[in-house]
Chain A
Amino acid sequence: MSRLNIALAALLILSALAVVQAQHRARSYFVELERLKKEARVLDEEWGQLRLEQSTWANPARVDTLARTQLSLIAPPQERIRVETGATAP
């Protein structure tokens, strides 16, 4: 009888340790999850800012000015445009 008791006591201690271990792992994973969530939020915000930046650079007014002044582009005069009739590209 006493042998069984000892065995049970050992099992009890083992399971208690396992609980501690599981709890600890749960907490560390939770911390990790929180960190990743925060990172996702930061990345999301950065993406928004990059979109904003992209749209500022791609602002048609800016592109127009740069094309005219820096690249000296002009709209082609009518004489330079040839209209191809018939098959249109898909």
Chain B
Amino acid sequence: MNYHTQKLLKLNLVTWRMVTVGGLLLAGLTTIGIRAMYLQGLKDTYLQGKGDAVANRYLTLPAHRGMVSDRHGQPLAISTPVEALWARPAELKLSAQQHRQLAALIEMPPEALAKRLRSRTRGEFAVRRPVTPEQAAKITAMGVPGLVLRREFRRYYPAGDVAAHVVGFTNVDDVGQEGVERAYQSWLAGEAGERRILRDRKGNTIRDIAPIKTAQMGGNLALSLDLKIQYLAHRELAAAIKTHKAKGGSIVVLDAKTGEILALANLPNFNPNNRRNYQPGPMRNRAVIDTFEPGSTIKPFVAAAVLERGLFAPESVIETPETWRVGNKLVRDVHPHPRMTVTEIIQKSSNVGSVKMAMSLTPMQHWEVLHRAGFGQLPGSGFPGETAGRLRDGASWKPVEHATMAYGYGMSVSLLQVARAYMAFANDGEVMPLSFLKREPQEVIGERVFSPTVARQVRTMMEAVTAEGGTGMRTRVAGYRVAGKTGTAHKLIDGRYASDRYLSSFIGMAPASDPRLIIGVVIDEPGGAVYYGGSVAGPVFSQVMAASLRHLGLPPDMPPEDSTRLTQPSAVPPHRNVWGPANDRPV
């Protein structure tokens, strides 16, 4: 109170000023208080979100799909990141000149580009996917607002149409649609991960705010295919189909020791790198999905059935008239011989002889052998949509059916199934489980179908097929012994057998002393004058077998006296100098 009493310090305060100033200060304070309450209390979630949007980021960790490779690691399907051009129409500002420049850059007619850009007015959409890295760099250099480059994964199939049916393909969302891509979808597909991070003003990552959910990369897959054999098989099949003006065809190459599928090709086929021409027909893996009546290629199983019951021996002689009646069905031989041994029946593919052998069995016994060999059952390759074929229960067979079954009519099989069944002859009676995946030999346990003796006896008979007088003389491979069986089946069209449409096939194995490879070839409707399995499918077999045996480095097993011309170095003719003038090249 001392101050008030001192005159000098006494203030002449005007009341209204005091009130005004005090009021203003109070008002300011209240405003700030209310504002603070508003921001902190009422709008805090919104603001927190805004703040987090600047500093906090969710990053998606991309996971790419695993690679599919052949057995030697050559890629067959591989995912690689590509740039895609996207547009945000709301922000897009493109001058007429830039428009022309962009159109030229992405190789699109200017009108088409304009139409594309006008197609939507909101959101984002892809303009061109993918663009090459060079194009991407130039687009970035143009700096057009509203045009963005996005990183996407695209699946490439380096082998193209050669391995298309086995590998299959994925759709735009990277989901397997066909083949191995579909069968092993869950293994191949990756799962994208996520991180939540804190960023500074410059966009550097400072730290993780939440535990990282790591991306699960898709697993890689090594197939059993051998790309070289696959390529050979595809090339020879295509050549044969062209020569014989056929509608299509399939080829399967199996490793007889492990059951691995070394090559599988079908024609017509498709290019998996180009999804535009989508047609279901050529995409079908005929060798696995389609069935046909096997025709004469079934005869070795009849022979095996009668041999294992001791009804006949390989050299037993059977009367084989030109025709033979079973019920109201007349069985006929194309090249009749009055009497043949069991070996000759297989060698010359006699229908009558085969029927007579089969009729010595009961239908159930006959059915049981075919069933044991895997006919009418899924071959178990794991390929999507594989067919079991059709083999009716033996108890319901009529005598006519029993007879036609002996030469491969009245039942249906897939090429893969027949090739698998032939493994029993190749592998001394054991059938190995099929696989599209590479595996180690010790992993597999076979299934015994025939005794080793019977399997070897039948294999020797099938070797006669490729010998002088057999139906498969054009299937020989120089230096190697080959065993196999030809088949020429009439096609069933609208419930009747067409007299002029055939399926020509050959299933064979080599080296016959200890078969390593089994090759099955089917040619659909050869259009030329030649239609016998041995002449149409046989040469394909021979070419692919010869090249594959050489590729695998298997020693020739032909006795030297039969292949003297191969071992006579003096017989070398004067040879054209394919090397040109440079003679110092190593040969």
Contacts and interface: CB of A to CB of B under 8 A. Distances in A.
A48 B206 CA distance: 30
B575 interface: yes
A51 B78 contact: yes
B580 interface: yes
A49 B83 CA distance: 13
Summarize B's interface: helix, strand, loop or mixed: mixed
Summarize A's interface: helix, strand, loop or mixed: helix
A88 interface: yes
Interface residues of B, number: 38
A83 B563 contact: yes
27 contacts: A27-B206, A27-B207, A31-B205, A34-B204, A34-B205, A45-B80, A48-B78, A51-B78, A52-B78, A52-B80, A52-B156, A52-B158, A55-B75, A59-B158, A59-B159, A60-B162, A60-B227, A61-B162, A64-B231, A72-B578, A73-B578, A78-B566, A80-B575, A81-B479, A82-B566, A82-B569, A83-B567
A75 to B, nearest CB: 9
Contacts of A30: 205-207
Contacts of A85: 555, 560
Interface in B455-489: 478-479
Contacts of A59: 158-160
B227 A72 contact: no
Contacts of A45: 80-81
Interface of B: 67, 74-75, 78-81, 156, 158-160, 162, 204-207, 227-228, 231-232, 235, 478-479, 555-556, 560, 563, 565-567, 569, 571-573, 575, 578-580
Contacts of A17: none
A5 to B, nearest CB: 36
Contact of B74 (A48, A58, A79): A58
A60 B156 contact: no
Given A52-B158, A79-B572, 5 more contacts: A30-B205, A48-B67, A49-B80, A59-B159, A83-B479
Contacts of B232: 60
A87 to B, nearest CB: 11
Interface of A: 26-27, 30-31, 34, 45, 48-49, 51-52, 55-56, 58-61, 64, 72-74, 78-83, 85, 88
Nearest to B82: A49
Contacts of A82: 566-567, 569
Contacts of A49: 80
A5 B78 CA distance: 68
B162 A79 contact: no
Q: Which of A27, A31, A59, A60 has the most CB of B within 10 A?
A: A60
A58 B67 CA distance: 17
A80 B565 CA distance: 10
Contacts of A55: 74-75, 78, 158-159
Contacts of B479: 81, 83
B565 A79 contact: yes
A27 B162 CA distance: 52
8 closest residue pairs by CB, A with B = A60-B231, A55-B158, A34-B205, A48-B80, A55-B75, A82-B569, A31-B204, A45-B81
A49 B573 CA distance: 47
B370 to A, nearest CB: 38
A82 B563 CA distance: 10
A78 B75 contact: no
A31 B539 CA distance: 65
Contacts of B555: 85, 88
A58 B231 CA distance: 12
B104 to A, nearest CB: 26
Contacts of B78: 48, 51-52, 55
Contacts of B204: 31, 34
Contacts of A61: 162, 231, 235
A21 to B, nearest CB: 16
B573 A79 contact: yes
A52 to B, nearest CB: 5
Nearest to B227: A60
Given A27-B207, A51-B75, A55-B75, A83 B572 contact: no
B215 to A, nearest CB: 10
A72 B566 contact: no
A14 B578 CA distance: 84
Q: Which of B158, B159, B478, B560 has the most CB of A within 10 A?
A: B158
A33 to B, nearest CB: 9
Nearest to B70: A55
B572 A80 contact: yes
B556 A83 contact: yes
A83 B566 contact: yes
A74 B578 contact: yes
A73 B587 CA distance: 11
Contacts of A64: 231, 235
A26 B205 CA distance: 12
B552 to A, nearest CB: 13
B481 to A, nearest CB: 14
Q: Which of A27, A74, A80, A83 has the most CB of B within 10 A?
A: A83
Contacts of A27: 206-207
A82 B71 CA distance: 30
B231 A48 contact: no
Contacts of A79: 565, 571-573
Contacts of B160: 59
B566 A81 contact: yes
